[in-house]
Structure 1
Amino acid sequence: MTTAALIVNTASRRGAAAYEPAHRLLLERGVPVTDAFPVTDPARLRETVEQAVGRGHGLVVVGGGDGTVSSVVDALAGTGVTLGLLPLGTANDLARTLEVPLDLAAACATVASGKVVDIDVGRIGGTTFLNVASLGLAVEVAKAMSPVLKRRLGPLAYPLAAVPAYRRHRPFTAELTFPAGDHEPVRLEHLLQLAVGNGRFYGGGNAVSHVAGIDDHSLDLYAIPHGRLREHVNTARFFRSGTFVEHPEVLHLRTRAVEVATDHPMAVNVDGEVIATTPVSFTVSANALDVIVPQGSTAARRDRQNAP
């Protein structure tokens, strides 16, 4: 039987309180955890996961938010090591996409008795992401999200932070090119936000689009023009369903790769963390990461020929 390692980001919203109960619950449910690490410094998460992989663990259970998981994806993708997910962050959008329960006990039960699927991984230059990368308003929102606000309000912190972010935002111009030739180049002016999604959800349950998925081997790109506040409020009503991309002024494209340049260097928010600057290129690696999901989840399947 393969052994497992438990790695919890105790700086995440629920990480510190959840570490010991998670360890106990996993053992009670028969998960063979032989190494357990409460990581207080998020900068050490990746090296801790790399150590777990190097020790031969076939299952690495990671507790934290979306930024936590994205920061360690490179250490797991393509290794054949399976990710177990304990959603302990603010938005937990990867868990929402994969239909992993947000309740700790139920998430531990999923690790113990779920099924293994393989999911796509987005790449922005040399950095991986699972949910969405965006520029424009989303970056201002991320900057307005203090750790205290996130810890106290959870997903409700996003709309609260969006109000001052909207007031500060200045429109921008973006030029999109598509290396695979699946679309003609596009120049977009006076934009509010541009996003490239690998998964389905972002921002605590908003959908990238109504057709986005994490196992469809493509990226969903949308661009929202800057306009009147009343128009944006109306569009925002459809963020949860993702049907806002059907608005005639919203551009929505699906692609395997896109290069984004802007009229001035702009920060890029990747799964809740601002870690890149335009110009940037986005690609998708199909079926790159093994992860445990509930038996009833329809978010992804096991595609690889060498799957056990």
Structure 2
Amino acid sequence: MLHFNRALFVYNQTAGEDDTHLKLEKTLHIVAQAVDELIVLNTTSEEQLQQACVKYSDQVDLLIILGGDGTVHTCLNSIAPLATRPIIAILPGGTSNDFSRTLGIPQSLNEAATSILNGSIIDTDIGKVGEHYFMNFWGIGLVTETSENINSDEKKRLGSISYVLSTLRTLNRTEPFHYKIQTTDTELEGDAILLFVLNGRYIGTTQLPIASLSPFDGKLDVLIVRDSNLAAFRELFALQNPTVENEQLNELEYIQVTALEIMQPIGNKVDMDGEIYEETAQQITVLPGHLRMIHVNAL
């Protein structure tokens, strides 16, 4: 059983959830069994959350994040640049909770809290883009437009289904863009509706059918979708076979890299872990095993 001397438990009550007190009731008493000293901190803004992560990063053994993908992304970007980083545990408190799924964390909060007692610690890769970091994905095209088109009322009422509805609305009006990517081994160029640099295995609660996709292998996975036709979906599912090579694909491009440069498009908005950023052209690198995280049978 895992045990820690000191832990910080953070949650952000302004992140869109109204039932925070119920989530605390389900988790705190379980988490407390794994920690000698537990600091519980409610942050009321993104800035407070960032400050808390930085302040306690070298004072605790464990950082417990109760929240969704946005809250996890904020915490990641706060502690990733620091020299001393605590072990991270995620309690899925949002709509998709995608990276917690990649880590094998149960989506029931009671079971997720128990995973802090019974889980394992693993060195986990993250992506770095300029001064920003991503845990799950970096994307442009359809994924960015889908995120921007999500209806907040639908998200509150329907949860993860709101992402499906937004995707369907967005598909009809997505315009292709020209891409040019440089890696140490190759250059890719063409037109596409979606470009992903992936680290996690889930997008919008859906597991991607890519056998070699892993946040524990020291690599990032580049997936480019040229069109939204049936052939593209067939090729995507063909990637369940780890022996499929990029040269065998017509509607997709798929490679694994440790670093790449996005040379085109320039000026498109970027989606990182569900958060929208305004810049595109940039270098992306993987930081192998940069964070230690609690997982449940994620290998």
In which range does the TM-score fall when normalised by the shorter chain? 0.7 to 0.9
> Quick check: 1:31–1:112 contact (8 Å CA) kept in 2?
no
Q: Residues 231, 43 of structure 1: CA spacing in aligned structure 2 closer, same or farther, 3 A cutoff?
A: farther
Aligned twin of 2:55: 51
Aligned twin of 1:68: 71
Runs of 4+ deviating beyond 4 Å: 12-15, 234-237, 239-247
Q: Residues 14, 217 of structure 1: CA spacing in aligned structure 2 closer, same or farther, 3 A cutoff?
A: farther
Q: Please, which moves more after superposition, 45-54 or 168-177?
A: 45-54
> Quick check: 2:151–2:166 contact (8 Å CA) kept in 1?
no
Q: Residues 106, 290 of structure 1: CA spacing in aligned structure 2 closer, same or farther, 3 A cutoff?
A: same
From 250, 253, 256, give the equivalent of 1:248: 250
Q: Please, which moves more after superposition, 214-223 or 74-83?
A: 74-83
**Root mean square deviation, CA, Å:** 2.6
Percent of pairs with identical residues: 24
> Quick check: 2:88–2:293 contact (8 Å CA) kept in 1?
yes
Trace 1:200-219 onto structure 2 (pairs within 5 A): 200-207=201-208, 209-219=210-220
> Quick check: 1:208–1:220 contact (8 Å CA) kept in 2?
no
Aligned twin of 1:133: 138
Give, in whole Å, the separation in 2 of the partners of 1:261 and 1:24. 50
- 1:247, CA displacement in angstroms? 4.7
Give, in whole Å, the separation in 2 of the partners of 1:14 and 1:287. 35
Which residues of structure 2 form unaligned runs of 5+?
none
Q: Residues 222, 142 of structure 1: CA spacing in aligned structure 2 closer, same or farther, 3 A cutoff?
A: same
Give, in whole Å, the separation in 2 of the partners of 1:238 and 1:137. 19
Give, in whole Å, the separation in 1 of the partners of 2:49 and 2:69. 13
Q: Residues 153, 236 of structure 1: CA spacing in aligned structure 2 closer, same or farther, 3 A cutoff?
A: farther
Q: Residues 120, 12 of structure 1: CA spacing in aligned structure 2 closer, same or farther, 3 A cutoff?
A: farther
Give, in whole Å, the separation in 2 of the partners of 1:23 and 1:129. 27
From 46, 56, 77, give the equivalent of 1:42: 46
- 1:239, CA displacement in angstroms? 10
> Quick check: 1:19–1:38 contact (8 Å CA) kept in 2?
no
- 1:280, CA displacement in angstroms? 1.8
> Quick check: 2:235–2:251 contact (8 Å CA) kept in 1?
no
> Cα deviation per residue 1:197-225 (whole Å; 9 max; x = unaligned)?
11222221231722100001001001111
> Quick check: 1:7–1:63 contact (8 Å CA) kept in 2?
yes
Counterpart check, 1:174 vs 2:179: yes
Aligned twin of 1:193: 194
> Quick check: 1:76–1:82 contact (8 Å CA) kept in 2?
no
Trace 1:1-308 onto structure 2 (pairs within 5 A): 2-10=5-13, 11-13=15-17, 16=20, 17-27=22-32, 29-54=33-58, 56-77=59-80, 78-178=83-183, 181=184, 183-189=185-191, 191-207=192-208, 209-226=210-227, 228=229, 231=231, 234-235=233-234, 238=237, 247-294=249-296, 297-299=297-299
> Quick check: 2:265–2:281 contact (8 Å CA) kept in 1?
no
Give the match's secondary structure for 2:215: coil
Q: Which amino acid aligns with 1:90?
A: T
Give, in whole Å, the separation in 2 of the partners of 1:225 and 1:9. 38
- 1:152, CA displacement in angstroms? 2.0
- 1:148, CA displacement in angstroms? 2.8
In the superposition, the TM-score normalised over structure 1's length comes to 0.85
Give the match's secondary structure for 2:193: strand
Q: Please, which moves more after superposition, 32-41 or 167-176?
A: 32-41
Aligned twin of 1:305: none
> Quick check: 2:144–2:269 contact (8 Å CA) kept in 1?
yes
- 1:42, CA displacement in angstroms? 2.9
Give the match's secondary structure for 1:209: coil
